Amino acid sequence: MTAIPQGRTRRAALVSAVCALVVGLGAGCSEDPDAGTNGVGKLPAAQIQAKTKTAAGSVDAVKLSGSVVTSGRTYKLDMRLKDEGGTGSVTSDGVSFHLLRVGEQLYLKADAAFWKHEDGKSGSDTAAADKLDGKYVKVPTGDPSYKKFSVFTDKDLLLDGLLTLHGSVKTDGHHEQSGTRTIRITGDGGDGGTLDVSLEGEPYPLRLVRGGGAGALTFSSWGKDFALDEPAKGETVDYGKQLPTS
């Protein structure tokens, strides 16, 4: 075996070190940061936004997690959504509950503390709350809570509203999200939101930071199906025509 000259080894080590430094500074050692990607990083920001919305709308399922601020309230979401409905947990004001929508039927499951909070009842009036504790409650379609909560289970409606950046849309460099290379686009320099779009495979949106401090969400499991079944009768309670409201 021919020995490698020591000088060449030192040069190779130096090149590796310089390359690592450049990568750390975000430039990369390749002249083309889009080499080996899906190519959307080379497009104008408006086209990137259009492509990622098309990609998001073309698949049946997605998982999203993070927070959304609406009407002055912060909702922490951990949801799995598809065309037929969705399921997952929501937390607001320190109170958590589970949502499940199958077709048009929406169910809400929470503990007694949630129902006491919604009802505004005193500790002495707990009969209704105890009855609903840990049960899936059918939410009537005409109840204000239906419109309020069903949006969190509606894939197309939720994504259409979230994946729109406001103001002048521009690119903001190459980044990485959970090990996947991304191109970032911003609205009004970030004031109108920022969106990281995958440069690997389909140009799915991977992370959204909403403008005005209105929350941040990550998206994953694009196209991965999951079970969505109505709860058993023994797990369900029909509250009536209207749920308690806070």
CATH number at residue 178: 2.50.20.20
Listed range (24-33, 70-79, 156-165) with the worst mean pLDDT: 24-33
Per-residue pLDDT reduced to its tens digit, 164-210: 999 999 999 999 999 999 999 999 999 999 999 999 999 999 999 99
Answer yes or no: do 172 and 219 share one domain.
Answer: yes
- Asked if residue 136 belongs to a domain, the reply is yes
- Asked if residue 34 belongs to a domain, the reply is no
pTM: 0.80
- Asked if residue 107 belongs to a domain, the reply is yes
The residue behind tokens 């105890």 is 130
Residue 9 pLDDT grade (very low, low, confident, very high; cuts 50, 70, 90): very low
* pLDDT at residue number 5: 45
What is the DSSP code (8-state) at residue 35? T
Q: Comparing 98 with 141, which gets the higher pLDDT?
A: 98
* pLDDT at residue number 239: 64
Helices (H), 32-92: 45-57
Per-residue pLDDT reduced to its tens digit, 205-228: 999 999 999 999 999 999 999 999
Asked if 154 contacts 125 with a C-beta cutoff of 8 angstroms, the reply is no
Number of domains in the chain: 2
Bridge partners of 86, per DSSP, are 81, 101
Answer yes or no: do 97 and 210 share one domain.
Answer: yes
Instruction: In whole angstroms, give the CA distance from residue 27 to residue 33.
Output: 8
Mean pLDDT of the chain: 85
Highest mean pLDDT among 116-120, 193-197, 238-242: 193-197
Res. 64: pLDDT tops 50 = yes
> Which residue in 101, 146, 117 sits closest to 243, CA to CA?
146
